[in-house]
Amino acid sequence: MNIVRTVSRSLVEGAATAQGTIRYATTQGRALDAGHYSDFRGGLKLSSIGLGTFPGAASDTVDEALVQIVYTAVSRGINVIDTAAHYRYGRSVAAVGAGLRKAFADGVSREAVWVMSKGGFLRFEGAVADPDAYVREHIIGKGLADASECAGAHVLSPRYIRAQLDESRMALGLATLDAFLVDQPEVQIRRHGKEAVLRRLGAVFEALEGAVADGVIRHYGVSSFEAFRVPTDDPNFLSLASLVALAEKAAKTVAPSGRAHHFALIELPFNAVMLDGFVRFNQVTGDGSDDSTLQAALKLGLYTVASHGLFKGHLASHPLDILVQAMPRLANDAQRALQFNRSTPGLGTTLVGMSTPPHVDDVLAVARAPVLTHPAYMALYRRTGN
C-alpha cells in the first residue's frame, strides 16, 4: 500500500481536550504510572513519552511499520505524536495519519490525542540535484516566499508555513492540529541576520495566530536544535522572552480586542549527554534572575518537549555507568535514558523514534515505573560535576 498517496477525503474534527486526555489517562493509560502524564495548559494531560517520526528510510516497509507503531502507541497510553511536513519526504506525516485512523476506528477518541507537526524545511519529492533551482521554481516561482525568506532548504515565510500546515492537516486527515511548530528558524540567522529572522518570525507568528482564529490549530511553538541550548553570545541563540513578546504582538495584530497569544511550547534536544537545556543559564524572563531554558519556559507558561531522547540511538547501546547505578531495576539502557528525561524537572514530554512495533513495549515499561525523586535526580549532577 502506498501510504504517502492515501489521504483521507474527510477530515476528522476535534482536537485534544482536558476531558478527553484525562479520560484517556485512566483508560488506555490505566496500567501506567500516574506520573506518566504531564500537565499542559487548560488541564490537558500529555504523555511524558511521545512518538517521534523522523527516523527511517523513505520506503513502504517503514511506512507500514510506522502505521502499526502509531496505532499501538496511541492504543496503549502514548498520546503525543510529533511529526513534520518534510519528514521522510512527507511519508511520515501520511503514515501517522493512517495509524491514527486505525486507532480512531478502534475506539480511541480524537479528543484524547495530541498531534503536532512542523514546517520550515522543504519537503522535496525525493533526492533533488539542484536545491536552489527547486526553490526558485517551486517556492519563489509559486509565490510562497521571496528570496529573502529562503536559506538553503529552509523557508521562513508566512505563506509557506501556512501551506505546510495545511499539507500536514490533509495528510494526517485532521481538521485541527493541536500544535504547529516553526522548525529550526535559527538556520536562517547566518545568512540573513538575527534582526531579519526575528522580524520574519513575527510575521509567521501572525499567520499562526490567524490559523488559530481559523480553527485549524490550537497552539503553536518553535522547535530548535541549537537556539535554546547555546550561550547568549552565540549567533544562533534565541531568547524565549523575545519569542513570547513576538507572540503577544502577533495576537494583538490579529485580534486587537486583546486575545491572549497561543505560543505555547518549545522543542529542543535534551538527554543525559545533551544537558544544556537544564544546566546552561542563558535565558532572562524579567524577574532579575538568569534561568535555564527549562526554568524560563516554566516561568513563561511554555510546555517543553525534548527531541533526541535517545541521542539518535546512542544511549540505547552505550551505557552510562551513572544511570546504570541509579536505575538498576530498569531492563536496559534505553529505558534508563528515557527515565532520566522523564525525571527532569520542567520537562513535559520526551520524544523517541521507534522502528518496530515491539519497541513500544520497551517504552511502555518505562512509563509504568515511577520517576526518580527530585533528590535522586539532582544527585546525578553532583556525582558527575555538572
Q: Is residue 21 helix, strand or coil?
A: helix
Output the nine-digit C-alpha cell for 67: 502505521
Output the nine-digit C-alpha cell for 214: 481559523
Strand partners, 228: none
pLDDT tens digit string along 103-137? 999 999 999 999 999 999 999 877 776 888 999 99
- The pLDDT value recorded for residue 293 is 98
Output the nine-digit C-alpha cell for 93: 506525516
- The pLDDT value recorded for residue 34 is 86
- The pLDDT value recorded for residue 1 is 46
pLDDT tens digit string along 201-210? 999 999 999 9
Distance CA 299, CA 293 (A): 10
Whole-model pTM: value is 0.95
Output the nine-digit C-alpha cell for 96: 501517522
- With b for 16 or more beta-carbon neighbours within 10 A and e for fewer, the 9-40 pattern comes to eebbebbbbeebbebbbeebbeebbeebbbeb
- With b for 16 or more beta-carbon neighbours within 10 A and e for fewer, the 129-160 pattern comes to eeeeebbeeebbeeebbeeebbbebbbbbbbb
CA distances from 345 to 194, 196, 349 (A): 30, 34, 11
End-to-end CA distance of the chain: 49
* Helices then strands, each counted (H, E), the chain: 15, 14
**3-state percent breakdown (helix, strand, coil) of the chain, nearest 5:** 45, 15, 35
Q: What mean pLDDT comes out for the span 248-264?
A: 92
Which has more confidence, 302 or 125?
302
- The pLDDT value recorded for residue 259 is 81
Output the nine-digit C-alpha cell for 2: 502506498
Strand partners, 115: 81
In eight-state DSSP terms, residue 261 is P
In eight-state DSSP terms, residue 34 is G
Q: What mean pLDDT comes out for the span 131-156?
A: 94
Judge whether residue 4 has pLDDT over 60: no
CB 64 within 8 A of CB 6: no
Q: Which residue ranges form the domains of the chain, and what is each CATH number?
A: 3-384 (3.20.20.100)
In eight-state DSSP terms, residue 14 is -
Which has more confidence, 358 or 38?
38
Judge whether residue 85 has pLDDT over 90: yes
Q: Binning pLDDT at 50, 70 and 90, where does residue 384 land?
A: low
Judge whether residue 377 has pLDDT over 50: yes
- The pLDDT value recorded for residue 255 is 87
Distance CA 140, CA 32 (A): 49
- The pLDDT value recorded for residue 5 is 47
- The pLDDT value recorded for residue 341 is 98
CB 134 within 8 A of CB 122: yes
Q: Is residue 184 helix, strand or coil?
A: coil
Output the nine-digit C-alpha cell for 374: 527530585
- The pLDDT value recorded for residue 340 is 98
CB 349 within 8 A of CB 35: no
